Amino acid sequence: MTRRQKNIVNTTLRYLVLIGVGTIMIYPMLWMLGASFKTSNNEIFSSIGIIPKKFSIQAYINGWQSTEYTFLTYLVNTYKIVLPKVVGTVLSATLTAYGFARFRFKGKKMFYAILLSTLFLPQVVLNIPQYLLFRNLGWLEPSLSYLPLIIPTFFASDTYFVFMLVQFLRGIPKELEEAAKIDGCNSLQTLWFIICPVLKPSIVSAALFQFMWSSNDFMGPLIYVKTVAKYPASLGLRLSMDADVGFEWNKILAMSIITLLPSLIVFFAAQKQFVEGVTAGSVKG
């Protein structure tokens, strides 16, 4: 074989593997999308084809009303939890990261070591006492039941975001800030006018990650949100699955797609950020 032929064979092999893996990754999701427009279980479970014979949006209409509340309630609830969480995370993680990356103070090394070690602390261990803590604070009342999910984010509870921002900040030269200091800016002004604009890409990717993870969060609401009227979409979906005795799969899949849609839109709008966010911040996943 000549070198040229060898190259062609190699490239072809690589493409075959890439396409093969790509199909495994994407086909189930496309099949799910197709199935949500199919009319019956019969059709869903008898063909591996994606395109429905007869295109119908009936599953979406039925699924939307399959429980006591319409799916709109669950979606609105989701964002009542998610948006404050994103705000809390961005504010607290930026302040903390700024403190760690740009100042010297007593015990800094020790505090940073503690922060990093909390990355490896299993949430399972904390769930029970946290639950008891919030119960003692009276936050299990239905009207307050989002507080246990939201309030900790205002105290930088998701430490990987702090870690991620610190990593980014380390790569930013300090000259700009020194100029600002000479011009008489205090540290808060420096943070707002100088650091934040430079740090914006990583702040945005932290916000996006928090948005997606919180919209998908299941265990948190499962523990704290006890009233159906307050359910976010993740619990609403699980509820409609339980409520559906005959398992009309097209209905369940239609609602699954609706809950995934916001995350998918966010992902496609900002995919570059995500890939950079993962590599630079070494985020979980």
Site for other proteins in 71-90 (CB under 8 A): none
Pick 43 or 70: Cβ nearer other proteins: 43
- Could you list the beta-strand ranges (E) of the chain: none
Which residues in the 239-258 window bind other proteins by CB under 8 A?
A: 241, 249, 252-253, 255-257
CA distance 9 to 6: 5
Contact segment (CB under 8 A) with other proteins among 9-17, 64-72, 76-84, 173-181 equals 9-17
Unique residue bearing structure tokens 């600002």: 180
Q: Which amino acid is at 268?
A: F
Of 73-81, 175-183, 194-202, 267-275, which segment contacts other proteins by CB under 8 A? 267-275
Whether 33 contacts 227, CB under 8 Å = no
Question: What separation in angstroms does the CA of 205 have from each of 58, 165, 277?
Answer: 37, 10, 6
CB 103 → other proteins: shortest distance, Å?
A: 2
Q: Which of 108, 86, 88, 106 is nearest to 98 (CA)?
A: 108
Q: Which is nearer to other proteins, 100 or 146 (CB)?
A: 100
Helices assigned H by DSSP within 36-158: 41-44, 58-64, 71-102, 108-118, 123-136, 147-150
Does residue 113 touch other proteins according to CB under 8 A? no
Is the Cβ of residue 70 or residue 112 nearer to other proteins in the bound state?
Answer: 112
**According to CB under 8 A, which one of 8, 57, 121, 229 is a site residue for other proteins?**
121
Beta carbons of 262 and 180 less than 8 angstroms apart: no
- Contact call for residue 28 and other proteins (CB under 8 A): yes
Name which position in 8, 9, 18, 76 contacts other proteins (CB under 8 A): 18
CB atoms within 10 A of CB 218: 12
Q: Which stretch binds other proteins (CB under 8 A): 59-67, 73-81, 119-127, 175-183?
A: 119-127
- Smallest separation (angstroms) from other proteins to the CB of 183: 17
- 51 contributes a contact to other proteins by CB under 8 A: no
Nearer Cβ to other proteins (13/57): 13
- 51 in the Ramachandran plot: left (φ > 0), alpha (ψ -120 to 50) or beta? beta
8 binds other proteins (CB under 8 A): no
CB 274 within 8 A of CB 267: yes
Binding marks (x or -) toward other proteins, 135..164, rule CB under 8 A? -----------------x-xxxx-x--x--
Instruction: Select from 75, 81, 86, 115 the one that contacts other proteins (CB under 8 A).
Output: 115
What whole-number distance in Å separates Cα of residue 201 and Cα of residue 94? 12
Interaction mask 205-224, other proteins, x per CB under 8 A: -------xx-xx-xx--xx-
Of 152, 84, 82, nearest to 118 by C-alpha is 152
